[in-house]
Amino acid sequence: MLAPSLAKFGPLGVKEFELFDLPYIFPAKDVLYRVTEGPVGQSLFKRLEPKGIVGLAYWDNGFKVMSSNKPMHMPADFKGMKMRIQSSKVLDAQMRALGANPQVMAFSEVYQALQTGVVDGTENPPSNLYTQKMHEVQKHVTLSDHGYLGYAVIVNKKFWDNLPPDVRGQLSNAMKDATKYANAIAQQENDRALEAVRKSGKTTIYSLTPAEKTAWRRALVPVQKEMEGRIGRDIIQAVNKEAQALGHQ
């Protein structure tokens, strides 16, 4: 069993998973859970089966913030900045939409790259930012909540199918309990991490004003349209419909 980040499935050949990288596709957690726990999430897992993989659960790591050594209040502030991303065509398009230069880099290399100025900034949930000590080499954090980072708990299909049915049933129930717990502590860890970053005094934490958030959304939401050919128009529209059904525009 593994729990890779959702961005890993695009390079595996299941591009529909890049849905999770789209900026502002999930306006709030209630929309996210409607997707991961509903038909959209299950249909994505079905696409893994031909690869010999069974998807068991989606685990949260939360919404992402932007960090850099200069304030980032408006999209224009990103012009020419070198921003680290995970390997994802969607995240590449997202940074380009802001006028930044995306740099794909392994997670383990990011701290040193920020420290030495190889890259100017990056995006992460607060817990990743804090545990990797990135706040020590980044002067500014903007609470943009522009993107989502999550994991899929997966298992080898042959192994799973060969388990005795009662064992498989027990494991499925245990996974449901573990998922509830994992998602609850993800939020707690992000809240605590943000507080710890604030207390460190090394990083200024900035909350976007409604007008600034609107400007970010205007700059980034077109990436959804741009990626329809890659991810699938139907699946993007299905998520937007869930958001509208829950009262988000």
Range of 68's domain?
6-245
In a domain, 203, yes or no: yes
Evaluate if residue 59 carries a pLDDT over 90.
yes
Distance of CA 100 to the CA centre of its chain: 18
User: How far is Cα 234 from Cα 239, in angstroms, rounded to an integer?
Assistant: 9
Contact between 18 and 10 (Cβ < 8 Å):
yes
Contact between 7 and 75 (Cβ < 8 Å):
no
In a domain, 1, yes or no: no
| Per-residue model confidence (pLDDT) at position 249 | 66
In a domain, 63, yes or no: yes
In a domain, 103, yes or no: yes
In a domain, 23, yes or no: yes
* Segment 173-186 mean pLDDT: 95
User: How far is Cα 40 from Cα 238, in angstroms, rounded to an integer?
Assistant: 8
User: What is the tens place of the pLDDT at every residue in 97-107?
Assistant: 999 999 999 99
Helices (H) and strands (E) in the chain, counts: 11, 8
Contact between 236 and 15 (Cβ < 8 Å):
no
Q: What is the pTM of this model?
A: 0.92
* Segment 15-44 mean pLDDT: 94
- pLDDT bin (cut points 50, 70, 90) of residue 7 is confident
CATH classification of the domain holding 132: 3.40.190.170
- Total count of domains within the chain: 1
User: How far is Cα 27 from Cα 148, in angstroms, rounded to an integer?
Assistant: 10
